[in-house]
Chains A and B, each alone.
Chain A
């Protein structure tokens, strides 16, 4: 009887629902002998069950049909093998009163648990498929990748920090050099070495800016400069003289223009250290 029940249940649950049924029934199936389960397994064990663990193979055998509840049938239904489940129910030894209650419960379940069923079905498909193995694998690889990336970033931060410290140090050294080079005494010594001298206060000439007269003087200076330049463009060449053939030898700017003082005086001191 147990063996028949086992076969019936296995058939009812089908290959997809086997594992689920085993987990629920296993604690109660201690009375079943291992021999029975082993004997029954080759005859009815579906292909997916063989891929499972030894526990999953033996567990259905420990189940006893009378203990199976309509819920198991629902599991079979969820597995998409309703006709097989009905056949199993008809073969199993079931108390007489149960068939009368089963339709009402099924109806309730259909009404109340339709969304849950569909969700569970999707979940079951996901879990029983090979996809989740790849998914978990990808997750693990991702975690490892994240950690390695984190370590890499931290290492990069550390290296950048060290580089920043080194650059800061170099910057401070350069600033120190600039400050030393900017010392007025050093500059003065360097200037004196090149022949510059510090003027006495009385030797310094200050030019007073005067917007009106400065502009007029500047205009006059420009006029004079332009006139001088015009005369310089056509130099008077003595007839007896040999014409200048080498253009480079001719002065581009007349000397008097080149030597002329700046047209606009500056308001700043002419000589400051």
Chain B
């Protein structure tokens, strides 16, 4: 009996010791090593993932998608965990389409984290996962794609690899397009199969953005600019098509074109949205604003005739015509139609410096238009108090100041829209109240004068479209290089609208430093004609 008791006691003691040992071990693991073990367990079984929000889609006015997002995969590695970098590089190179030596360099890096390939096709990511290389993993990342490639690329801009808009509308509308990223906690079992998925922070998709741009028209405008580029090899070219009645920008194009999917590879100059950010001296396309101010101030009327000498001297500067001529007698309308510098300067001097300054600012020059595209330049319009003695000899003919293409179309919209100027906009819903700048009568008078530019004896008489009356103005401006007007570098432009009686389209074409020919009527007007020839029937605008 006593032996039995001793055995029981011994057994009890053993179990008690085992229990103590287990309790001690539990206390050690649960107390002293709790933090590190907890972290390891969390790392192995619990993953807090950031769920990127789906970036909003950008579409044209008809719903055609111009910018979309899709899921991609980013492949990364922890080089410390890659046992055989050479073999791993060879296997990955076959899948990722990346040079093997480049991958080997990365896998041999003395770092705990390296990107092997960012935002590759999701299928490619799946194939990398299937390789099962220890230390190499993938993470889903959204990727921005532009299905129309080059179409309106400078206007749309680009998104960086981290999913933030870097340029263009992608940058301007970053907040609404981006959405709100979410967080997801995934608990996996020992085999890595997810046991629970909890959305700790709800993801909110970005808002879609619909533009006023018409993709088909945009493609045709870009095609017209490409022809100009091919023919005249300019530094750049810009074109804008606008509905003057609403301010809707139907097309906004720049040349050279840039593939939005290869944004990083394009040169800096090409990535700029020059139609809103480039300033230039407009030259003769500015003359209608001088005439409009003079008509409004009743300094002249459409029938007023001037006897014009071949040149006119203003302070120390002598201004002549583009083509030599003798003394002529021209009406205000003829001055515009023939783009007489002497005549326009004469009208400007009649108007006076103060009133001239007020009128060109009323047309919106010297301040950004407010179009949604980022990076808009305000242009340069000197205040009247800073005028030199010859300023009033330069400014009325579009020299000594700089404007942007978008400012030009805004100013012309007042003439085309019965005196009411509309702020251009590229995003649907951005229409603003119009502002009356000139009277309906003055707008009609100037429109009639501009019809003469495309009529017989006008500077763009070749630009004709059967069945339609057109109105517009050519511009050929010498570029100021280091304070001196160059006689080899020009800015050729044409701004016009159609149909002239009841304008529904306003088109501007600006060509920077064309080679060979440089007149606006030769370089820019044909592009205007091509654009309008397509746009009128395409938009169902019937002839008068």
What is the interface of chain A, defined by CB distance below 8 A to chain B?
151, 154-155, 157-158, 161, 165, 168-169, 172-173, 175-176, 178-180, 182-185, 198-202, 204, 206, 268-269, 271-273
B533 at the A/B interface (Cβ < 8 Å)? yes
CA distance A252 to B193 in the complex (A): 71
Does A185 lie within 8 Å of B219, measured CB to CB? yes
In the assembled complex, which residues on chain B have CB atoms less than 8 Å from the CB atom of A176? Answer: 65, 68, 70, 145, 147
Minimum CB–CB distance for B398 against chain A, Å: 30
Offer 23 A-B interface pairs, CB within 8 angstroms, sorted by A.
Answer: A151-B195, A154-B195, A154-B196, A155-B194, A155-B195, A157-B197, A161-B194, A169-B70, A172-B68, A173-B70, A176-B68, A179-B64, A179-B147, A183-B147, A200-B533, A201-B466, A201-B532, A201-B533, A201-B536, A202-B466, A269-B537, A273-B534, A273-B538
| Interface size classification for chain B | 35 or more
Please name all residues of chain A whose beta carbon is closer than 8 Å to the beta carbon of B465 when the two chains form the complex: 201-202
Within 8 A of A (CB), among B64-79: 64-66, 68-71
Which residues does chain A contribute within 8 Å of B215, judged by CB atoms? 183-184
* Cα-based distance from A259 to B509 in the complex (angstroms): 46
Which A residue's beta carbon lies closest to that of B222?
A185
The answer to whether the Cβ of B540 comes within 8 Å of any Cβ in the partner chain is: yes
| Known A154-B196, A169-B70, A273-B534; 19 more pairs at CB < 8 Å | A154-B194, A155-B195, A157-B197, A158-B186, A169-B71, A176-B68, A176-B70, A176-B145, A176-B147, A179-B64, A180-B147, A180-B148, A182-B64, A183-B215, A184-B220, A201-B467, A204-B537, A206-B542, A206-B543
Chain A residue numbers with a CB within 8 Å of B532 are 201
A271 to B540, CA, bound (A): 9
Contact among B65, B151, B186, B193 with A175 in the assembled complex (CB-CB below 8 Å): B65
- B468 CB–A CB distance under 8 Å: yes
**A60 vs B497: C-alpha distance when bound (angstroms):** 115
| Chain A residues with CB below 8 A from B536, complex form | 201
The smallest C-beta distance from A196 to any residue of chain B, in angstroms, reads 14
Contact A272 B540 (CB under 8 A): yes
Shortest Cβ distance from residue A188 to the other chain B in the assembled complex, whole angstroms: 8
Question: Is the beta-carbon distance between B537 and A199 smaller than 8 angstroms?
Answer: yes
Contact of B194 among A158, A172, A184, A204 (CB under 8 A): A158
Q: A165-B71, A201-B466, A272-B540 are in contact. Are A184 and B216 (CB under 8 A)?
A: yes
B122 at the interface (CB under 8 A from A): yes
For A198, list chain B residues within 8 Å (CB). Answer: 534
Q: List 5 A-B pairs, minimum CB-CB distance, nearest first.
A: A202-B466, A158-B194, A172-B70, A179-B147, A184-B216
Q: What is the distance, in angstroms, from B262's C-beta to the closest C-beta of chain A?
A: 16
Asked if B140 CB lies within 8 Å of chain A CBs, one says yes
Q: Which residue of A154, A182, A184, A201 is within 8 Å of B537 (Cβ)?
A: A201
Does the CB pair A273–B216 fall under 8 Å? yes
Is there contact, CB below 8 Å, between B538 and A158? no
Cα-based distance from A168 to B187 in the complex (angstroms): 22
Complex interface: chain B residues within 8 A of A169 (CB)? 70-71, 122
Contact B538 A272 (CB under 8 A): yes
Interface string of B139-155 (1 = CB under 8 A from A): 01000010110010000
Query: Which residue in chain B gives the minimum CB-CB distance to A204?
Result: B537
Contact A201 B148 (CB under 8 A): no
Least CB distance, B77 to chain A, in whole angstroms: 23
B223 nearest CB neighbor, chain A only: A185
CA distance A200 to B464 in the complex (A): 12
Set B64, B122, B195, B468: member contacting A201, Cβ < 8 A: B468
Among A165, A168, A169: residue with most chain B CB under 10 A: A169
Q: How far is the CB of A126 from chain B (nearest CB, A)?
A: 33
Report the minimum CB–CB distance from B22 to chain A (whole Å). 24
Q: A155-B194, A268-B540, A273-B538 are in contact. Are A200 and B466 (CB under 8 A)?
A: yes
Q: Given the complex, which residues of A lie within 8 Å of B537, measured CB to CB? A: 199, 201, 204, 269, 271-273
B466 partner residues in chain A, CB cutoff 8 A: 200-202
B70 touches A157 (CB 8 A): no
- The contact string, 1 if C-beta is below 8 Å from chain A, for chain B 182-201, is 00001100000111110000
**Binary interface encoding of chain B residues 45-66 relative to chain A, with 1 for a CB under 8 A from any of its CBs, else 0:** 0000000001001000000111
A179–B65 CB distance below 8 A: yes
Complex: A175 Cα to B145 Cα, angstroms? 11
